Amino acid sequence: MHQDVSEILFSEQDIAERVADIGAAITRDYKELAGPAGIVVVCVLRGAAMYTCDLIRAIDMPLEVDFMAVSSYGSGVKSSGVVRILKDLSSDIHGKHVVIAEDILDSGLTLSYLIKNLESRGPASISVATLLRKNTPNQADVNCRYVGFTCPDKFIVGYGLDYAEHYRNLPYIGVLKPEIYQ
Ligand code: 5GP
Ligand code: MG
Ligand code: MG
């Protein structure tokens, strides 16, 4: 285990199993509905990159993958509440079935904003597949159709999630020691 991590919450194998389950659920829910056009999986950069790569390989139907980057945290650990689009989608989602792949839902501000923003583009539907949902007090009411794991209200790193751009390459999900960011 990395010396800056106090506890492993989900092992590489736990993650692989849950991501496979989510992929199977998405396939079941969308295969007929979306037909040959398939779905658009929107990866929220950068935290959800690793998850998205694994998730799309667990979805057995036609799909496109597109990427969006939003800022909400900078390099700190508290949500600023201000969401800004740093990189927009490359393709038009009008009339498409969209599944947003997000790494973690904390305050819920980022996803609330993203859903509203993408809805204004006239997709056929939008759902959210978040890998982690944190037990955060006063979390915004975000409808997540697919949730990988719920996790404690601590600062989490690994499997794509960073602190100041580090730790994304850890193959597991763990709790960052508070002394690292305090
Ligand atoms: P929210 O807007 O829901 O408060 O936070 C959304 C974003 O903040 C997440 O997509 C993620 O990028 C970042 N975030 C929230 N909690 C954590 C955490 O525990 N660890 C890391 N690495 N990022 C987090
Ligand atoms: Mg994120
Ligand atoms: Mg981050």
Q: Where are the domains of the chain?
A: 13-152
- Cβ neighbours for 89, distance < 8 A, ≥ 6 positions apart: 42, 66, 67, 68
Is the distance from the beta carbon of residue 110 to the nearest atom of ligand 1 less than 6 Å?
yes
Q: Which ligand 1 atom lies nearest to the CA of residue 47?
A: 12
CA 39, CA 30: separation in Å to the nearest integer?
8
- From the list 150, 109, 102, 108, the residue with the least C-alpha distance to 126 is 102
Strands 156-157, 173-176: pairing is antiparallel
Residue 21 has what pLDDT? 98
Q: Which of the residues in the chain have pLDDT under 50?
A: none
Query: Exposure pattern of 114-127 as b/e (b: 16+ CB <10 Å)?
Result: bbeebeeeebeebb
Ligand 1: distance of its center to the CA of 160 in Å? Answer: 11
Kindly state the tokens that stand for 102: 């997000």
Residue 74 has what pLDDT? 52
Ligand 1: distance of its center to the CA of 76 in Å? Answer: 10
Is the distance from the beta carbon of residue 155 to the nearest atom of ligand 1 less than 6 Å?
yes
Q: Is the Cβ–Cβ distance between 41 and 22 less than 8 Å? A: no
Q: Which ligand 1 atom lies nearest to the CA of residue 162?
A: 22
Kindly state the tokens that stand for 43: 């990866």
Ligand 1: distance of its center to the CA of 31 in Å? Answer: 30
Strands 156-157, 5-10: pairing is unpaired
Is the distance from the beta carbon of residue 158 to the nearest atom of ligand 1 less than 6 Å?
no
Residue 72 has what pLDDT? 73
Kindly state the tokens that stand for 85: 């689009």
Q: What is the CATH number that goes with domain 13-152? A: 3.40.50.2020
Cβ-based burial of 30 (10 A; exposed 0-12, middle 13-18, buried ≥19): buried
Cα within 13 Å of Cα(105), Cβ side: 29
Is the distance from the beta carbon of residue 79 to the nearest atom of ligand 1 less than 6 Å?
yes
CA 34, CA 114: separation in Å to the nearest integer?
22
Residue 83 has what pLDDT? 85
Residue 97 vs residues 30, 67, 115, 121, 165: alpha-carbon distances, Å: 8, 15, 13, 12, 31
Residue 95 has what pLDDT? 98
Is the distance from the beta carbon of residue 52 to the nearest atom of ligand 1 less than 6 Å?
no
Q: Write the ipTM.
A: 0.96
Which of 6, 103, 163 best tests ligand 1's pocket when mutated (most atoms within 8 Å of CB)?
A: 103
What pTM, to 2 d.p., does this model score? 0.95
Helix (H, G, I), strand (E, B) or coil at 110: helix
Ligand 3: distance of its center to the CA of 77 in Å? Answer: 8
Q: Would you mind telling me the total number of residues written for the chain in this entry? A: 182
Residue 45 has what pLDDT? 96
